[in-house]
Amino acid sequence: MSEKVTVTFIDESGKTRPVEAARGATLLDAAHAAGIGIEATCGARGRCRTCRVKVLKGELSPPTIQDLVQLGDEEVREHFRLACQVKLIADCTAQPMPPREEAGHKILSGGKTVTEDSRLEIDSGVIKHVVRVNPPSDENLQTSDVEEVLSTLPVGTDRRVPIEVTRKIPSLIRTNKGVVTVTTFAGGIIDVEPGDTSAHLYGMAFDIGTTSIVGTLMDLKTGEQLAEVGSVNPQSIYGGDLMSRIAFAQFDPKKLQTLRAKALNAINDFVEEACTKAGVSANHVYKIVVVGNTCMHHIFLGIDVTHVGLAPYAPVARDLIVLPSKDVPLKGAPNAQVCLLPIVAGFVGADTMACVLATRIYESEQVRSLVDIGTNGEVVMGSKHRLVACSAPAGPAFEGAQIRNGMRGAVGAIERVHLNGDVECETIGDAPPIGICGSGLIDSCAVFIDARIIDASGRLRRERRELLTKALRDRFVDTPDGCEFILVHKDRSGRNEPIVLTQADIRQLQLAKSAIFSGVAMLQQVMNVPNADLTELMLCGGFGNYISIESAVKIRLLPELPLERITYVGNAALMGAQMALLSEVERRRSLDLARQIEHVALATHPQFQEIFVDGMNFSGTTFDAEKKSLAKAARESKLTATGS
Ligand code: FES
């Protein structure tokens, strides 16, 4: 029997593509090896449904329990399967089902702009010198072209000139009356161009998030933002959260390169897209600041992430890094300076440092906190006297992964839920509902707690339904897997089946929200700061923008502070990257701050387990019986083990 089988993939337009794969490999592996981008948000663990395919022909391994749980009997009977679970045993034909939710995925870029920070002094470190160079003459033979260029520049200019720049010099100084523009960064020459190009001086700031990549093109002379770009991080087809991404690339340099190429291609496309939008040349982009969490930072640089994903989760490098764009390689001027902000420790990465810069939390007299709610959440707390930080990995539940009808925040996602005798859902784009995103999940649990549909320990309380209106009572259904609650009936649903909230979904939300809640609580304990002394809690990052703060406090995702003390500060990571782009003072400041911040490793902290279990509860008081079941759920998830 041949060791190979042929999988014929059919795309949406009906085009076929036969691919050879090893017998016994998964359909997902076969697709990825052939460059077919089937998304695998849960990292091929059978816990989401993003890798759903329809098998049109051929024999496959029997459906797994994950197929049945994620897709249900009906879909499995209709030959839908999870590509990550299907083992290839014979030739077959399959059609990837693009996740419908991708349409109009909300990406949060900019928000506030750096120029609103009146204290920011623009000094990007990139200077254009327009000079007239005289080539060596008969009177002065003991010199060279490069020395003549250097003689026109300020004393102290670095004499080491990159070889590609040296190659351009002879012809440039002998045309156009020797008028050239020499560009320097931090005293070193990075480019020479003919004539006066001093009007064109640009840079880009990028935030590489686990979920999305956003960037801005900026004028380095004025600080003006010229263009914004962004998309879903294309690496997400290999896993939605950071640990899945690490697991994919661990011990496998080729897979690391696959992830790296995805990020670099996206960023290079963004450089071009932004320059085209703004009508400028990419050759005039001289500085690019990149921030991202430790995993994204390392993958961007092609650094092995194997040990980043293993206790004690130490990064390979933590300092400020500057390297020429051609060494990455990134588009822009060939010697454009690509600058990465420092890492604090563990998963508290360069993106957090950018948030620290942007919020100026390090200057506060009073204690403030900044919280980035995401698959890999981070919390920083402190004032000018002391700063502490931790990583609070919430996992991908807020992205809709591991939730039965979960989806990202895109058109058709339920984002708000109200109770008015019955359930009322608002969707993104006012489209027919096709699933529920993180903010909808938080909202629904908040209103269901009020209505006592869910109790403090997170259990759907079917037995109390007699207290509810008939419309609400009729939404409870018993299934072999337990009780479920119908959010949208089949006739109102855009997916031709009811949209439900399951007991397992609520558990996933509890684990995710407790990661953030207990991160904040842990730092409060370390700093000895009760709620009364926490003067501001700043939410940053894409997700924080879309949640209802009231609902987040109600479900104990956020501590119980007066709502006016909880503010939303936009994409602070991108804003911090912009500050480091426009100001060398800010870029260098990030290193001092990174070394000043005390990193609290949650996983090894003796009180963390207890705080985490308490954080899973929806109310401040927990009964012993509830504690046991919550502790079991916490143990079974890996979230408590990866807080580093
Ligand atoms: S279920 Fe296959 S990747 Fe998540």
For the CA of 82, the nearest atom of ligand 1: 2
Q: Decide if pLDDT at 476 tops 60.
A: yes
Task: State the pLDDT confidence band at 643, using cuts at 50, 70 and 90.
Answer: very low
Residue 199 burial (CB < 10 Å; 0-12/13-18/19+)? Answer: exposed
Q: Whose CA is nearest to atom 1 of ligand 1?
A: 46
Structure tokens at 96: 């990837």
Pocket of ligand 1 (CB under 6 A): 40-42, 44, 46-51, 70, 82, 84
Amino acid of residue 554:
K
Q: How far is the CA of 70 from the centre of ligand 1 (A)?
A: 9
Q: Decide if pLDDT at 109 tops 60.
A: no
Q: How far is the CA of 585 from the centre of ligand 1 (A)?
A: 45
Q: Decide if pLDDT at 639 tops 60.
A: no
For the CA of 66, the nearest atom of ligand 1: 1
Ligand 1 mutation target, pool 32, 50, 238, most atoms within 8 A of CB: 50
For the CA of 83, the nearest atom of ligand 1: 2
Q: How far is the CA of 67 from the centre of ligand 1 (A)?
A: 9
Instruction: Tell me the C-alpha to C-alpha distance, in Å, between residue 567 and each of 527, 545, 553.
Output: 21, 10, 13
Q: Decide if pLDDT at 516 tops 80.
A: yes
Length of the chain: 644
Ligand 1 mutation target, pool 27, 29, 42, most atoms within 8 A of CB: 42
Q: Decide if pLDDT at 551 tops 90.
A: yes
Number of Cβ within a 10 Å radius of residue 634: 23
Share above pLDDT 90 across residues of the chain, in percent, rounded to a whole number:
67
CA atoms within 13 A on the CB side of 584: 11
| DSSP string across 460-513 | B-GGGGGGS-HHHHTTEEEETTEEEEEEE-GGG-TTSS-EEEEHHHHHHHHHHH
Task: State the pLDDT confidence band at 466, using cuts at 50, 70 and 90.
Answer: confident
Q: Worst-scoring range by mean pLDDT, 107-116, 231-240, 474-483, 592-601?
A: 107-116
What pLDDT sits at residue 409?
82
For the CA of 40, the nearest atom of ligand 1: 3
* Residue 403 DSSP class: S
Task: State the pLDDT confidence band at 500, using cuts at 50, 70 and 90.
Answer: very high
Residue in this structure with the two tokens 């998030």, named with its chain if needed = 209
What pLDDT sits at residue 101?
42
pLDDT in tens, 302-337: 999 999 989 888 999 999 999 999 999 999 998 999
Q: Decide if pLDDT at 51 tops 80.
A: yes
Task: State the pLDDT confidence band at 254, using cuts at 50, 70 and 90.
Answer: very high
For the CA of 42, the nearest atom of ligand 1: 4
Q: How far is the CA of 50 from the centre of ligand 1 (A)?
A: 6
C-beta of residue 389 within 8 angstroms of C-beta of residue 599: yes
Percent helix, percent strand, percent coil in the chain, to nearest 5: 35, 25, 40
pLDDT in tens, 125-156: 999 999 999 999 888 788 999 999 999 999 99
Average pLDDT of the chain to the nearest whole number: 90
Instruction: Tell me the C-alpha to C-alpha distance, in Å, between residue 109 and each of 68, 515, 578.
Output: 38, 25, 12
What pLDDT sits at residue 222?
94
What pLDDT sits at residue 111?
54
pLDDT in tens, 381-396: 999 999 999 999 887 7
pLDDT in tens, 568-619: 998 999 999 999 999 999 999 999 999 999 999 988 888 888 999 999 999 8
What pLDDT sits at residue 606?
87
Q: How far is the CA of 474 from the centre of ligand 1 (A)?
A: 32
Q: Decide if pLDDT at 444 tops 60.
A: yes
